[in-house]
Structure formats: structure tokens, C-alpha cells
Amino acid sequence: MLRVFAAVGGANTLAGWFPFLKFPSTNMLKQTENRGATTKVKTKIAVIGAGAFGGWTALYLLRRGAKVTLLDAWGPGNSRASSGGETRVIRGTYGPNQSHTKMAARATQLWKENEKRWNQKLMHQTGVLWMVTAGDDQFERASLPLLRDAGIAYQELSVQEMSARWPQINLEAVHWGIYEPQGGFLMARVACQAVLDGFLAEGGEYRQVAVLPRDLERTWDSLSLSDGSKVEADQYVFACGPWLGKLFPESVGTRIRPTKQDVFFFGTPAGDNRFAETSLPVWADHRDRFIYGIPSNEGRGFKVADDTRGPEFDPTAGERAVSPQGLKIIRDYIAFRFPALKDAPLLESRVCQYENTADNNFILDRHPQHKNVWMLGGGSGHGFKHGPALGEMVAGLIMEFKDPDALFRLSRFGK
């Protein structure tokens, strides 16, 4: 049962990829009269947060002609940020009734475009194998037409086909699989730095400084910074990941809920490449728990994590120590699904946090009182891959004076 759908490509415009947005012709410059001559003044935009959301947004705002200052308290992909750490999965399988598959397709195109521009490898297209083990495969079945519509290549694989290709996986209780050959993993922290480097090379300004969380919900005309200086801009974009609710306690507040997520890296046997990126795709196992992993790359070991939401977590002060129970769950899992790694030693572990919204969709909205203040976040454990597509979209909205789709607005949560 091998069915293959090839990527067909798609409209190469924002409107083509996000049909719910309407974009008039570009007019990104304010014009002022100056002694009879017309002087073009660039829109000044401050972006706060140089993670996956803020970094790409700053870059695309710059490319649309704005004068952009990017600020970050600890730097792009720092160890407290949700974009920190080694790697992130990029895939299009997302279930029914959502816009993420299409956004992932656009993002893949933009990751490639920027990799080429910067001559730097950030996306490893190892493929992604989605093992269908839940009794009910509605989620996976419903994903297929969306993959097809978005032009994302995929194969439906039988258990026999999977075991022939990846004998290192014990496929017990797996019914079938979806394989996305162009999916894979992204370098996380390294990519955030690459985006910043690109941004600087194209003329952006970056400052490593914190915005003081001073009454941002009330009237203000500039941002107070941790070094005592101020920043004033025409538009502000707050892309502060798990900190967004703290900066805007009334308009965002607990609508973003950071949870502790443990990530483990296990050592593979010496000289055994069966669990490395050359032999194994990224994989996701949809069972009672949703466990996923990234094959060993750059000598970091075999990464495994549980997508189940952990306890609430403070991104600034939280101690980043993994839980022994979490480690046990992962060890038991590995012994079952990857028997050759039963006794693999733990090489490294990390604690990151998801910044969850109630519906796992992103937040992109103007502040209810300040129309030139934008709030962007809510990556909910799957936002990294979308960075470039989201950045492109946000830049389009801001520069075209457009409103975000209802899908992303805070009003969807009610009071």
C-alpha cells in the first residue's frame, strides 16, 4: 500500500498561501512634504523578542522596507526561550480543519529560500514518519487531503513497508504510517542566530536589552529598557513567547500558559548509524501519549520527548531539571519501540517550555487600546517551523495596515 503524492508547488504570494488575508498593493513608506520635495520616511518598528516568531517578523518587516529595531533580553534562541536548544520538527501532518498544514508548506519554501540566500544548512530533510497507533485514525486520515491541497509530498505506508525500510523500529501496535519525505528537522538556536545575522546584514538594528514590563496595558509613547534608555517607534511587535502574558497581564494574561517540557538525548552504540539522520527519519508516535523523536545529528544523540503538557512553568526563574518520572516514561518507551537502545545512556537533557493557548493556535492581534501595538505568540509546542511564514504574514499585515484573521485574534477566547 504505497501511495505517493508529489509536491505540486503553489501560488508564490501571501494571498495565495493565506487566502483568508487580502493584500492591496504595497505602500510601505509614509510620505512627508519637505520644502516642496517629497521625502520618504520609513516606518519605524520595534520588535521585542528575537525567537522564532520575532526574529523572522523583524527580518520580513525589514525586507518590506521598514526601519526595524529588534530587542531581546538574553539573545536569539537563548536557553530560557522556547526557541532554544538544538532541533525542532518540521512536518505538515496536522489533522483536520486547520491552517497549519498550508502554513508549514509555505514555511518549508521560505526556509529553503533563506538557506540558499545565507548559504547555511538549517533544515535537514530526513523525512518524517508518523506512526498511526491510536485505535481511531481519524486525525491521520483527515490530514491527508490537507497535505495534498498544500502540495506537501507524502506516502501512506503499510506496516510491512515500514519494517522493510526501518527494521530498527519495533512496529508492534502500529496500524499504518504517513511518511513526509520533505519533512525533517530544523536547527533551533542556530537558526535563530542565522536569522539575526541575516537581519543585521540587511540593515536591521539589534540590541540585547530587556523591555521593562511597566504598565504596557496603559498609555505610553516609548518603551523603557533595562539599560535606562528608551525606544520609540511607529509600531511595536511584542513576540515574547512564554513571557507575553506577563507583559500584558490583562489582554493576554493566562491565555498563554507556559508548561514544562522535558527533552532527552540518548547515546547510540559506537559505530552504529541506525539511529542517525542518515538512516532514520524524524518520527512521531501517536498513542495514548504523543511521543516523538529526532535521529542523532551533529553527535548530539537520539532525541526523544513527550508532547504531553507538563506542569506550569516560569520561563525566567524556573529550574531546568528534568523529572525522574519523565525520564522513566521515555526509557520504557524506547525499550519498547527501539529495542536496540534499551540500555542507551542518557547523554543530555533539557527543559524547555511550551507557551500554550487553549486551542493550540497562535496569537496575532493588535492591543485592544493601542492600535500600533501587536502581540504575537502562543506557539503551543509547534510554532518554530512556521517562523518564516508567520513573519512574512505579520510583516504583510503591518505594512499593509490590515487586520489579522479572526483565527488568531484574542477575541476568540472570549472574556
Ligand X SMILES: Cc1cc2nc3c(=O)[nH]c(=O)nc-3n(C[C@H](O)[C@H](O)[C@H](O)COP(=O)(O)OP(=O)(O)OC[C@H]3O[C@@H](n4cnc5c(N)ncnc54)[C@H](O)[C@@H]3O)c2cc1C
Closest distance to ligand X from the beta carbon of 245 (Å)? 11
Picking from 395, 386, 394, the residue whose alpha carbon sits closest to that of residue 62 is 395
Helix axes 188-201, 100-118, angle to 10 degrees: 60
Closer CB to ligand X, 326 or 379, in the complex:
379
Closer CB to ligand X, 14 or 240, in the complex:
240
Contact 99, 160 (CB under 8 A): no
Closer CB to ligand X, 243 or 338, in the complex:
243
Burial class (CB in 10 A: 0-12, 13-18, 19+), 21: middle
Closest distance to ligand X from the beta carbon of 38 (Å)? 36
Report the DSSP pairing between strands 154-158 and 176-180.
antiparallel
Closest distance to ligand X from the beta carbon of 101 (Å)? 13
> Using CB under 6 A as the criterion, which residues of the chain lie in contact with ligand X when the complex forms?
48-54, 71-74, 78, 81-83, 88-89, 210-211, 213, 239-243, 261, 263, 305, 352-354, 377, 379, 381-385
Contact 115, 122 (CB under 8 A): yes
Task: State how far the alpha carbon of 158 is from the alpha carbons of 154, 181, 192, 295, in Å.
Answer: 13, 16, 37, 22
Closest distance to ligand X from the beta carbon of 72 (Å)? 5
Closer CB to ligand X, 14 or 46, in the complex:
46
Question: Using alpha carbons only, what angle is made at residue 17 by residues 107 and 96, rounded to the nearest 5 degrees?
Answer: 85
How many whole angstroms separate alpha carbon 318 and alpha carbon 388? Answer: 29
Closest distance to ligand X from the beta carbon of 104 (Å)? 8
Closer CB to ligand X, 85 or 177, in the complex:
85
How many whole angstroms separate alpha carbon 31 and alpha carbon 271? Answer: 64
Closer CB to ligand X, 2 or 239, in the complex:
239
Residue nearest to ligand X (CB): 379
Closest distance to ligand X from the beta carbon of 218 (Å)? 16
Biggest alpha carbon–alpha carbon distance for the chain: 78
Closer CB to ligand X, 8 or 321, in the complex:
321
Report the DSSP pairing between strands 235-238 and 44-48.
parallel
